[in-house]
Chains A and B, each alone.
Chain A
Amino acid sequence: MASISRSLRPVAMRLAPRATPTTARTAFRTFSTTRMTALRKYTKDHEWIDLSADQKTGVVGISEYAAEQLGDVVYVELPEESGSWIEQGDGIGAVESVKSASDINAPVRLKIVSVNKLLEEKPSTINKVPEDDSHGGGWVAKVEVDEAGAQQVEALMDAEAYKTFAAGDE
Chain B
Amino acid sequence: MFAFSTRASRTLRYAGLSIKRTIFTSATPSSPSSKVQIYTLLSPSATYNLSVENHLMKTTPPDSTILILFINRPSIVIGRNQNPWLETNLNELHHAPSNVQLVRRRSGGGAVFHDLGNVNWSVIHPPKHFDRNKHAEMVVRALHALGKTSARVNERHDIVIDAPHHSQNKTFKISGSAYKLTRLRAIHHGTCLVNSPHLARIGPFLRSPAEKYIQALGSASVRSPITNVDVSIEPFLAAVKDEFTKMYGLPDVAFTDRAEEGMAVAEVQKSWEELESPEWTFGQTPKFTFSTHPTENDPRPRDGVPGNTKIWFMANKGVIEQFEMDDVEQAAFKGIRLYEPSRSSWAERLHQAGLDALEAHVTGDWLKSMLGGGVFERLSPPKSEHSP
Contacts and interface: CB of A to CB of B under 8 A. Distances in A.
Contact of A77 (B81, B130, B131): B81
Contacts of B218: 74-75, 96
Contact of A2 (B79, B81, B186): B186
Interface SS of A by simple majority: mixed
Nearest to B284: A77
Interface string A1-14: 01111111000000
Interface stretch (B16-24, B176-184, B268-276, B351-359): B176-184
A2 B107 contact: no
Interface in A1-37: 2-8
Nearest to B80: A101
A45 interface: yes
Contacts of B182: 2, 91, 103
Given A96-B81, A99-B178, A3 B183 contact: yes
Contacts of A105: 183
Interface string B91-119: 00000000000000011111000000000
Interface string A97-128: 11111110100000000000000110100000
Given A96-B81, A96-B108, A74 B130 contact: no
Interface SS of B by simple majority: loop
Given A2-B182, A105-B183, A120-B217, A99 B127 contact: no
Interface string A72-106: 00110100000000000101001011111111010
Interface in B170-197: 177-183, 186
A8 B183 contact: no
Contacts of A123: 217
Contacts of A6: 128
Given A7-B129, A7-B130, A121 B181 contact: no
A97 B183 contact: no
B349 interface: no
A3 B62 CA distance: 12
A5 B129 contact: yes
Contact of B81 (A7, A74, A98, A169): A74
B286 interface: yes
Interface residues of A, number: 28
A99 B157 contact: yes
B212 interface: no
A121 B217 contact: yes
Contacts of B79: 96, 99, 101
A20 to B, nearest CB: 22
Contacts of A94: 80
Given A75-B81, A120-B287, A100 B183 contact: no
A4 B81 contact: no
A170 interface: yes
A7 B128 CA distance: 8
B157 A103 contact: no
Contacts of B180: 100-102
Contacts of B130: 4-5, 7-8
Given A100-B108, A103-B182, A5 B128 contact: yes
B219 interface: yes
Contacts of B109: 99-100
Contacts of B134: 7
B330 to A, nearest CB: 24
B186 A101 contact: no
A23 B110 CA distance: 32
A5 B219 CA distance: 23
B132 interface: yes
A97 B219 CA distance: 9
B181 A8 contact: no
Contact of A45 (B107, B129, B183, B217): B183
A5 B183 CA distance: 12
Q: Which 5 A-B pairs have the closest CB atoms?
A: A99-B109, A2-B181, A100-B179, A102-B181, A5-B130
